[in-house]
Structure 1
């Protein structure tokens, strides 16, 4: 599987789109908002970032996807900087360059057609006629390589993107019928995943160290885990249940055993200590905050729980989580198994999720790190 070509969230604004099924990601951005706000405020207090007329501030949103979440942090960046400038008596606001990055398969068209206009309208509504100039740009490409000019970025943000690897790790052939790390995965498979994460995250940090200017800030949130065990249920369970749905299709003869055996999710969910180790090893950034948070799977639904009305309409928490996961994983699954089995796959998945969520405590674990580029 060529991850750089295949990996992207479902585009458009339809029922199975990421735009309509990314509520849990929105809630995570809200949960981590205090960390982001602190980083932006500290950035503007840094002596090397001192305000001056004609100043241009450049922010990058990495793994931006396409939907209402794409520009949430960009909006906060502009608003906080504008408020700080006015608080200190600067009537002329800086101009803002907002760089939106994702892999080439991302639906950039929807961003600029559906979401960018509302971004500018909201700026005018909240900041009035004196709202600063904001220039939005799409930057297709992998963040495991250089994307921007040297020392051009003041602030970098990424949420729910960096757990995706640049490729499926080599040496996972023994992970038969497990589509990700699982409790039954051999140690060699777990090590292969971890080593790929180390290579990728180190490369990411090295590339950003060249692009972020001294004193610049970076806030990253990724799916992770509290446990030091990489096969912990808290980070692997969501994929184990999808594997059960795939095995059901296999038993019905709807997919081939060889294709299931060769399918592995290009993702790694690190612990706090694993993130810290790689940042310190690369050496270009100082960690300001490193925190773990959690959010229930049920947050994928608008209610955050299974209401009686939803149940009557046949909509439950399993339905919401299945839709969320479909918006994320469908392109990978279509590439491997074809389009014809997708509806049945996610109907099975919904039933499995509904059953397990009714009996178990199911949560996503998030790791957030806020860093400063060393001068």
Structure 2
């Protein structure tokens, strides 16, 4: 009889992630798995590797498969060139790329994406075996325009929500100027250009999905759900920068604004799914 294969699963997140919660859930997971196993199912071993994936995490040639889900649109840091030589912000009144942003803003974000995505590919190339695959799921945008009613539009609405709080005297306008989101939604061409330039992988498959339309049709509280999602991602950074006391009001405004905008015109964020093979 051929022995059952072994699978080794390495979970990765930043050290600030609560790995204890994950590890506490594993005994129940293993127990449920064993109930379903009838001798021929594979063995599964799970470990955690804290650290940024913008750099090396694992030994050389030890991985056969890498999966990254909704992570790579988050940059390793806010682009430094969003601030001039005197340390003053150049993207005033907005937390991301907007119609009022000077061209240097979109250039800074794109340059940071190029640096980060290339480093991710190079690091995973060292860790993957020859012929190993990566499946990457990430938010993106359809065309070259950085300002559209896609993923970036949600950050535009966050800027507007913060501006309302500023007019109410809840926060200072200069604090909005100095708050920047470390997010970049690349296009298909931008991703493919970095993959070619880095040179370790070939694209086996690349697909684009628009899911927001259907979610809006079936949800009665779409604006609230979007607000909760953005809050879950940004809460710690917003509270550190503006103070915890504004969060409830901020996301009430934000949720209403999302609903109002969807009634005017659809917001169409897109998701890319890439399958890469190591050469």
Shorter-chain TM range is over 0.9
Q: 1:297 to 1:325 in 2, by over 3 A?
A: farther
Determine the C-alpha separation between the residues in 1 that align with 2:38 and 2:218: 34
Q: Indicate whether 1:178 and 2:94 are aligned.
A: yes
Secondary structure at 2:202 match in 1: strand
Structure-2 residue corresponding to 1:144: 54
Determine the C-alpha separation between the residues in 1 that align with 2:214 and 2:157: 15
Structure-1 residue corresponding to 2:4: 93
Structure-2 residue corresponding to 1:360: 265
Deviations 1:280-324 (A, max 9, x none): 10000111011211111773x8x8322xxxxxxxxx211111111
Structure-1 residue corresponding to 2:152: 236
TM superposition shift of 1:326: 1.0
Structural RMSD (CA): 1.8
Determine the C-alpha separation between the residues in 2 that align with 1:129 and 1:251: 66
List aligned pairs for 1:1-375, cutoff 5 A. Answer: 91-114=2-25, 116-172=26-82, 173-296=89-212, 299=215, 304-306=218-220, 316-374=221-279
Determine the C-alpha separation between the residues in 2 that align with 1:178 and 1:346: 17
Deviations 1:149-197 (A, max 9, x none): 0010000000100000011002222211110111221111100000000
Q: 1:298 to 1:319 in 2, by over 3 A?
A: farther
Determine the C-alpha separation between the residues in 2 that align with 1:121 and 1:182: 50
Determine the C-alpha separation between the residues in 2 that align with 1:148 and 1:370: 20
Secondary structure at 1:154 match in 2: strand
Secondary structure at 1:215 match in 2: strand
Determine the C-alpha separation between the residues in 1 that align with 2:4 and 2:251: 49
Determine the C-alpha separation between the residues in 2 that align with 1:230 and 1:351: 24
Conserved? CA contact 2:149–2:266, under 8 Å:
no
Deviations 1:230-278 (A, max 9, x none): 2233231111111111111111111122211100100100000000000
Determine the C-alpha separation between the residues in 1 that align with 2:185 and 2:213: 16
Determine the C-alpha separation between the residues in 1 that align with 2:246 and 2:197: 44
TM superposition shift of 1:117: 3.8
Secondary structure at 2:170 match in 1: coil
Conserved? CA contact 1:190–1:231, under 8 Å:
no
Conserved? CA contact 1:298–1:320, under 8 Å:
no
User: Any stretches of 5+ residues in structure 1 without a counterpart?
Assistant: 1-89, 307-315
Determine the C-alpha separation between the residues in 1 that align with 2:71 and 2:125: 18
TM superposition shift of 1:130: 3.7
Task: State the TM-score, normalized to the length of structure 2.
Answer: 0.92
Determine the C-alpha separation between the residues in 1 that align with 2:139 and 2:148: 13
Structure-1 residue corresponding to 2:85: none
